[in-house]
Amino acid sequence: MSATKTAAAASILLAATLLAAAPSFAQSPPPPTPAPAASAPQPAEEDEGHTAEITLPDGSKQTVHTGMIPGARISVPTGGNIAAEVVLISDSDGWNDDEDDLAATFLDQDAVVIGIDLPSYLAELEKAGDDCVYLVSDIEALGQEVQRAAKDDSLSLPILAGIGAGGSLALSILAQTPDNTIQATVAVDPEGGITLKKDLCTGAKREDRHGRAYYGLEDRALPDPATVIFTPDADKEGRNHVAALADQADGIDIRETDDDDAFSQLGLAVGDLIEQATETDPDTAGLPLTILDAKPTRDTLAIIYSGDGGWRDLDKEIGDIFQKEGLPTVGVDSLRYFWTKQTPEKVASDLTGMIDRFRKRWGVRNVLLIGYSFGADILPAAYDRLPQAQKDSVAMVSLLAFSATGDYQVSVAGWLGVDNGGDTNGVKDAEAIDPKLIQCVYGTEDEDDACKQLKDRGVEMLGIAGGHHFDEDYPALAAKIVASLDRRLKPEAASNKP
């Protein structure tokens, strides 16, 4: 389980119970992995945080856990169809009629809207007992809980938006956001820095000037695309700060407008993002895929099913390494793919389509299938149900942090490590596969790993120091996977490796 999901799961444990009943910035040394979630404090179990009541599409009421967000204003589309999720942060004067009107506009576009009153939110954050605050965790967990309660068939990542001081906070959250967590960030006329005295949990540099905290960005790619719009009333310090952020990372779209109506500009920009969220990318066929193009060096492509935290940690790191090695890769975001209940047959059908489509796209014969944690647990059953032609293209099945049972829907219980019996027996499914195809990779300190149950079957067993995350030495892990792949490929294919 990813560190991010550990924090998020802890913050919504109560909800699960209710559901059942121009400055430049010097960079701090980067953390061992790009995901800043590893530095997030664990919420105290006795601190249940705030709650809010929401009205579901069928008219019923439900209480959701909002963490450190007090008085959250949450609206769910009455039609039941959720096109997007918008987290709207008010300006420094608090939530008022302008925010209400904007929230209503987004709701009319079938977006879940989570409204945050900035003054009360900042006051609550200042009272936190931890050394730093991890705002994105509550934002992510709350959105997931609301969408689960609404029984939406797909998971929408939040669009984080704000004007003035709210926009400044939205931009500051970029400093601590893991990849594939926020769909996009939009700020109109952001101020220079934020007034929050409490530190944000991030490896980015913080500078304090004139009673404000200015956060830079971590030394990595921007975690989500950001749009900043300046009206004629924009603050000079805000302009300078955004320019400094843009110097640190690509992906910040800075726009100028003659329109002095900041709320109108925010509405238009977010509205465009809501519309984009409903569009189907022909390259992904509507599936939550990350496509990492590369010139093939092994006549092989890789398909990686992530853990239940989504495409953001180990799986993403390995995919990026494969791309650099000339191994084009398709990443399946298990959090979003298995947000709704899947079946083994549906998973196999989608995998068949991916194999056919991307073998043609990259002109390769062979396929390397990899699953990590949640993704590893369901992969043997998916392979076993492939048509014979697609099975024949698979050179290796690599199971990382493999469990004895698997599920076909992501759940809070799974994030917390609770064994609910599972929807499939991963070990039994793996035993049906030619053992020569399987590589089972386990952490030597991971007591729950099921690879040991396959050791007498003739599969390749690979023990790596560490636990469920293999001590986060992802380059070494990727190298071992590729070495095993090369041994299975035909000699002429393996000889073409870089």
Residue found by looking up tokens 């947000």 in the block: 339
With 70 as the cut, is the pLDDT of residue 418 above it? no
Predicted pLDDT at 423 = 79
With 60 as the cut, is the pLDDT of residue 440 above it? yes
**Structural domain boundaries in the chain:** 3-277, 289-494
Q: Which residues contact 164 (CB under 8 A, 6 or more apart)?
A: 91, 92, 188, 189, 190, 191, 235, 262
DSSP lists the bridge partners of residue 253 as 227
Mean pLDDT for all residues in the chain: 89
Q: What is the mean pLDDT of residues 223-252?
A: 97
With 70 as the cut, is the pLDDT of residue 305 above it? yes
Query: Six-digit token pair at 22?
Result: 């121009």
d(CA 66, CA 14): 10
Instruction: Determine if residue 173 is left, alpha or beta; phi over 0 gives left, psi from -120 to 50 gives alpha, anything else beta.
Output: alpha
Predicted pLDDT at 481 = 97
- Given the candidates 3.60.15.10, 3.20.130.10, 1.10.357.10, 3.40.50.1820, the CATH classification of the domain at 3-277 is 3.40.50.1820
Predicted pLDDT at 213 = 98
d(CA 207, CA 24): 10
CB 400 within 8 A of CB 376: yes
Per-residue pLDDT reduced to its tens digit, 451-465 = 999 988 999 999 998
With 90 as the cut, is the pLDDT of residue 309 above it? yes
DSSP 8-class letter at 325: T
Residue found by looking up tokens 């935290």 in the block: 309
Instruction: Determine if residue 225 is left, alpha or beta; phi over 0 gives left, psi from -120 to 50 gives alpha, anything else beta.
Output: beta
Predicted pLDDT at 151 = 87
3-277 and 289-494, same CATH topology:
yes
Per-residue pLDDT reduced to its tens digit, 239-278 = 999 999 999 999 999 999 999 999 999 999 999 999 999 8
Per-residue pLDDT reduced to its tens digit, 18-76 = 333 333 333 333 333 344 443 444 443 446 699 999 999 999 999 999 999 999 999 99
- Please indicate whether residue 425 or residue 133 has the higher confidence score (pLDDT): 133
**Closest to 172 (Cα-Cα) out of 201, 141, 210, 144:** 201
With 70 as the cut, is the pLDDT of residue 408 above it? yes
With 70 as the cut, is the pLDDT of residue 362 above it? yes
Query: Six-digit token pair at 239?
Result: 């302009």
Predicted pLDDT at 28 = 37
Rounded to 5 degrees, φ, ψ at 172 are -65, -35
CB 187 within 8 A of CB 161: yes
Q: How confident is the model at residue 79 (pLDDT cuts 50, 70, 90)?
A: confident
- Amino acid letter, residue 407: D
In this structure, of 8-12, 148-152, 216-220, 478-482, the range with the lowest mean pLDDT score is 8-12
CB 246 within 8 A of CB 84: no
Q: How confident is the model at residue 405 (pLDDT cuts 50, 70, 90)?
A: confident
- Please indicate whether residue 422 or residue 189 has the higher confidence score (pLDDT): 189
Q: How confident is the model at residue 92 (pLDDT cuts 50, 70, 90)?
A: very high
132-133 and 84-89 strand pairing: unpaired
With 70 as the cut, is the pLDDT of residue 13 above it? no
Which CATH fold topology does 289-494 show?
Rossmann fold (3.40.50)
Q: How confident is the model at residue 235 (pLDDT cuts 50, 70, 90)?
A: very high
CB 454 within 8 A of CB 440: yes
